[in-house]
Amino acid sequence: MNARLLHECVKLLPSNIDIFDEMGVETMVLGDRYNFGFLNVHGFTEKNKGVNFEEGLQALGVEFLYDAPATAILMEDGVATGVQCESGKDVINVNAKAVLVCTGGYLANEEKVAAEYGGCKVVNMGSLNNTGDGERIVLAAGGEATLHEKRYYAIYSENTVNAMKDSPYYQSIGAPAVWTSAATMFSAPLANFDANLASAQEEGWCFKASSIAELAEVTGLEALPETVTEYDSYVAAGADPDFLKDPAFLQPIEDGSTAYYAFEYNPSAFNTFGGPRTDEQCRALDANSDPIPGLYVAGVENGSLFCSPYYAVGGSCSGLSQASGRVAAKAMVEYIANA
């Protein structure tokens, strides 16, 4: 996950509601359904919101082309210059100064779902148009493949780990009042602590070293020392300028411990979140992590917005898809202006 991109999207969420209001799309504030403290989750109440969206965008000069699925990104000298569509037997080339792909993932593509999820049957509760064609054409244009990071890591000091042996994690970090669900979810010390920790190391997904620098060598995470130093500077300042992490959760990593741990995890998902890799401006990236000029990806198809570990709060798909589209649009305007 690209947390900087997520941060940019979150900043736009309040103004999303303002835009909906201007278009006549009604919403209402829902209750805190998960006891996580989210008191401003919005739900749509307008039955024909699609019509309102379409009419609102047409008033801004947006043109719609129906029954003409995109089959390829038009490329010239490595630059995206439009989209090729097919309408019946007709091939339509739509020339453009920049291209944004947001076609909703691939849950309606049973073959791809089976390949990605090891043959597991997944029932599609979304659109039948979510066939993965958007991802396919971006990759064909040189984009990087979905789920480019196969693992993610949690870094702890030995002092922090050992504290969870004798007290609940929630208590060990000061029982922050803002974390309402943790009082019951993490209300006991870790069971079978020593045996489970030893098993994790034996199974190869828990790494231990005498320093962060040594831990970086053991795990192959070259940027770990720099990342930890930057994070600990935020802890010392009591503020996280990058991701706005609540100060109650800012706990130092390098705390004088004689050892440090890295726990390795696999990504998981409740939907087909993930697709072509992007940067924080939603620019599609190639295999060298370089932006493909003129090509952008938003919504659940953005492989850097939704990834590990997962998102389960209401509106994470809808709200952030709309916000990422706006992030991409802002970047596209700047790109076109400087082209």
In this structure, are 80 and 161 located in the same domain? Answer: no
* Residues 222, 216 contacting (CB under 8 angstroms): yes
Q: Which of 209, 240, 265 is the last residue of a domain?
A: 265
> For the residues 313-338, what does the mean pLDDT come to?
85
Q: What is the pLDDT of residue 59?
A: 93
Q: Do 134 and 272 belong to one domain? A: yes
Answer yes or no: are the C-beta atoms of 296 and 331 closer than 8 Å. Answer: yes
pLDDT at 2: 76
For 3, residues 6+ apart whose C-beta sits below 8 A from its C-beta are 242, 243
Q: Which of 247, 265, 283 is the last residue of a domain?
A: 265
Q: How confident is the model at residue 313 (pLDDT cuts 50, 70, 90)?
A: very low
Confidence of residue 308 (pLDDT cuts 50, 70, 90): very low
Cα distance between residue 258 and residue 200, in whole Å: 19
Residues 125 and 215 reside in one and the same domain? no
192, 260 contact by CB (below 8 A) = no
In this prediction, residue 309 has a pLDDT band, given cuts at 50, 70 and 90, of: very low
- pLDDT tens for 324-333 read 999 999 999 9
Nearest Cα to Cα of residue 306 among 286, 283, 324, 281? 324
Q: Could you report the per-residue pLDDT of 128-138, keeping only the tens digit for each?
A: 888 889 999 99
SS (H, E, C) 171-211: HHCCCCCCCCCHHHHCCCCCCCHHHHHHHHHHHCCEEEECC
Average pLDDT of the chain to the nearest whole number: 86
Three-state secondary-structure class, residue 42: strand
Instruction: Decide if pLDDT at 101 tops 90.
Output: yes
Whether residues 145 and 280 share a domain: the answer is yes
Around Cβ 256, how many Cβ atoms within 10 Å? 8
Q: Write the pLDDT tens digit of every residue in 64-93.
A: 999 999 999 999 999 999 999 999 999 999
Q: Decide which of 219 and 114 is more confident.
A: 219
Phi first, then psi: what are they for 334, rounded to 5°? -65, -40
- Whether residues 17 and 67 share a domain: the answer is yes
**pLDDT in the model for residue 149:** 57
Q: Specify the CATH number for the domain of residue 308.
A: 3.50.50.60
Residue 31 pLDDT grade (very low, low, confident, very high; cuts 50, 70, 90)? low
CATH code, domain carrying 245: 3.90.700.10
Q: What is the pLDDT of residue 95?
A: 97
Q: Which residue range forms the structural domain that includes residue 203?
A: 152-265
Against a cut of 0.75, is the pTM above it?
no
Task: For residue 309, give every residue at least 6 positions away whose Cβ sits within 8 Å of its Cβ, in sequence order, or none.
Answer: 152, 265, 267, 268
Q: In terms of domains, do 158 and 256 share one?
A: yes
Return the HEC string of 269-332: CCCCCCCCCECCCCEEECCCCCEEEEEEECHHHCCCCCCCCCCCCCCCCHHHHHHHHHHHHHHH
Reply yes or no on whether the pLDDT at 311 is more than 80.
Answer: no
Same domain, 141 and 166: no
Count of domains forming the chain: 2
**Shared domain check, 116 and 59:** yes
Query: Same domain, yes or no, for 131 and 25?
Result: yes
**Which has more confidence, 252 or 37?**
252
